[in-house]
Amino acid sequence: MTLRKFVTTVVGVSVLATGLAFAHEKGEHDRHGPRKEMRQFFKQLDLEREQKQAIRSVMHDAKDTMSLYREDMKKLQEEALNLIDSGNVTQESIASLLAQYETTLTAMAVAKADKKYAVYQVLTEAQREKAEALMADKSPRRGKGDPQTRFERLADKLALSDEQKAQVEPLLEQAQASKTALREQVQGFREELKSWMQEGSYSSDKVSALFSASFPEFQASFYAVVADHQQVYQLLTEEQQAKLQKRGRHMFLPRMI
């Protein structure tokens, strides 16, 4: 059995690690889609027609650039999948895997940062401040997205035994702590970018150097998340594994991005 959807989510940490989307990008799976997000963004910032056109052009070019890395990301997903299926997730195997794709991940980080900077330049100072305030007001998801609620749903849907619950819950808590560490790393990355843009000292080379310097920390957090979830998967029976795969990754993992 494969864990294609599961690994896709875990590899999504690489995108999270860049942490550079100017507006909240929910992805293609969102029922409203990125177009509605952009319209809301335009309306909230009261953009002029020329500004809207400029930002649409930036977003279009950025989409074309990111498509260049799609094949490498698929390969990364497949190789991570093979490690999990074979039970060979170790610090060494993850380090080796990510090293092969560090150049691509760095290029993605730079591309996303360049997009954010291009949009930043289009906005007035007042619009920049309002955009920052809007982002700061976005609160973490509750309810179905809450880690404890997700664990309870997982235990119920997979009919975990008391023994399995006792083993699985601390592993998921560890994984959540690792993802929190990643988010804190992302926030530091964002703050550095923000200061460069405000000072007028932004450059793609500085972003590349910053991402490369933070890569070992990202690698460690990535390993911790994958290793914990591999242990959880191995604690399940074949029937439970089949149910998990059928229901998809949202039953198993809190959202990473």
Mean per-residue pLDDT for 223-228?
82
Mean per-residue pLDDT for 44-64?
92
Residue 135 lies in a domain: yes
Mean per-residue pLDDT for 60-82?
85
Q: Hey, what long-range contacts does 234-243 have (CB within 8 A, 24 or more apart)? A: 234/87, 235/164, 235/167, 235/168, 235/171, 236/158, 236/164, 238/1, 240/158, 240/159, 240/160, 241/1, 242/1, 243/157, 243/158
Residue 203 lies in a domain: yes
For 210, the domain range is 4-251
Compare 146 and 38 and report the one with higher pLDDT: 38
> Above 60 in pLDDT, residue 229?
yes
Compare 18 and 130 and report the one with higher pLDDT: 130
Residue 256 lies in a domain: no
- This prediction has a pTM of 0.72
Residue 257 lies in a domain: no
Count of structural domains within the chain: 1
- What is the token pair recorded at 176? 């959540």
Percent of the chain with pLDDT over 70: 77
In this structure, what are the phi and psi dihedrals at residue 68, rounded to the nearest 5 degrees?
A: -65, -25
